[in-house]
Structures are given as structure tokens and as C-alpha cells.
Amino acid sequence: MENTNDRLNSLGNMPHLVKDEVTKGVTFDVFSKTRTKRTANKNIAGFSLIELLLVVVTIGILVALAVPKLQQTVRMAENGQTFATMRSISSTQIGYFSSHSRFARLTELNNIMSGALGTPSGNDINRGKFVLSMTPAAPTDLELKDGYTITATRNQANESIVYVYELTQTGEIRQILP
């Protein structure tokens, strides 16, 4: 019987099948009789394209549902913060009235509160997405002896809802819109 090595030598550089005893796999060797590719009969684990597509679609649906709710929650928090600011304005106005026998203008209030109301812009004050304004816009001292009305308006171009809060000398804060 002919030796295996003798048989391989007789084939020369011709391609041939090689049986790997370790992995029990058979490969086709094109290059040489000494260099063989080893492959194993292994189950390759992974996700199919359809499974990945389903995951991506599911995440997209969840995001489409969650983002508007998140935006609404942020808007409610900003509105609550403005409502609290208007309470601070009311209590500061009471203190100012007891000292000066008149109510303060918005710019005076902002100075008393160390700029906590926001950034002055003419007679108005910008606070986040709200604009605080006083009616009349530039009240006289005589008008401020009788009372005041301060409105906080949120009117953003990318939002369909306009929010308006109103504070009067009685300390009552009312939501005008929506």
C-alpha cells in the first residue's frame, strides 16, 4: 500500500481535498499540499437582518411617542418656574409698596432681586422663553400708587400654543392663555 506522503508528492501542486482530523472538516487546498485552510462545522450565532430591522423600527416608534411627552413635560416645568417667579414678584411688590407708597416697575424689581427676573429689554424682561411686561409699559409713579398688571407671555415660533399669565396688585396670578 502506498504511503500518504508519497501520494501527496505525486499530486504535485495540483489542488486537492484535505481532511482535517481535528475539526472533522474538509477543505479545498489550491495553494499547496502543506498549507491548508481549517474550517469547523460550528453554528455561527448572530442576528438576522430582519431581527435588526425590527429592533430599529421598535426604537423609532418608542422615540416618536416619547419625544412629544418629554417636550410637554419641559414646557410644564418652565411654566411652573414662571409661575413661581410671579409669586416672588408679588411678594417683592408688597415690600416695595410698604417702603415707597407705590409699586415698583419691572426694571426696579429686577434690580431689587439682583437680576433674578431675567434680562432687561427696554421696559420688558426676558426670562427663558417668557417675556415679562407691565401694563402700561412705562407707568408713572401716580399710576403705580393705584396698582399694576404684569404679564408673562410665552410665544415661541416653533410652538403652536401661546401661554399668558397675569399678575395684579391683589397678588392673584391668572392663566389667560391657553
Question: What residues form DSSP beta bridges with 135?
Answer: 149
Q: Look at residue 155 in the predicted model and tell me its pLDDT.
A: 93
Per residue in 135-163, pLDDT tens? 999 999 999 999 999 999 999 998 889 99
Domain boundaries along the sequence of the chain? 78-177
Task: Say if pTM beats, i.e. exceeds, 0.75.
Answer: no
Rounded CA-CA distance 156/72 in Å is: 14
pLDDT beyond 60 at 55: yes
Strands of 163-168's sheet, edge to edge? 119-121, 124-127, 130-135, 149-154, 163-168, 173-177
Q: Look at residue 45 in the predicted model and tell me its pLDDT.
A: 77
Q: To the nearest whole percent, how much of the chain has pLDDT over 70?
A: 76
HSE (CB half, 13 Å, CA atoms) of 78?
Answer: 18
CB distance 135 to 167 below 8 Å = no
User: How many C-beta atoms surround the C-beta of residue 156 within 10 A?
Assistant: 12
pLDDT beyond 80 at 26: no
Give residue 47's pLDDT band: very low, low, confident or very high (50, 70, 90): confident
Give residue 30's pLDDT band: very low, low, confident or very high (50, 70, 90): low
Q: Look at residue 46 in the predicted model and tell me its pLDDT.
A: 83
The three-state DSSP-derived secondary structure of 34-55 is: CCCCCCCCCCCCCCCHHHHHHH
Give residue 35's pLDDT band: very low, low, confident or very high (50, 70, 90): very low
CB distance 11 to 4 below 8 Å = no
- Average pLDDT, rounded, for the chain: 84
Q: To the nearest whole percent, how much of the chain has pLDDT over 90?
A: 69
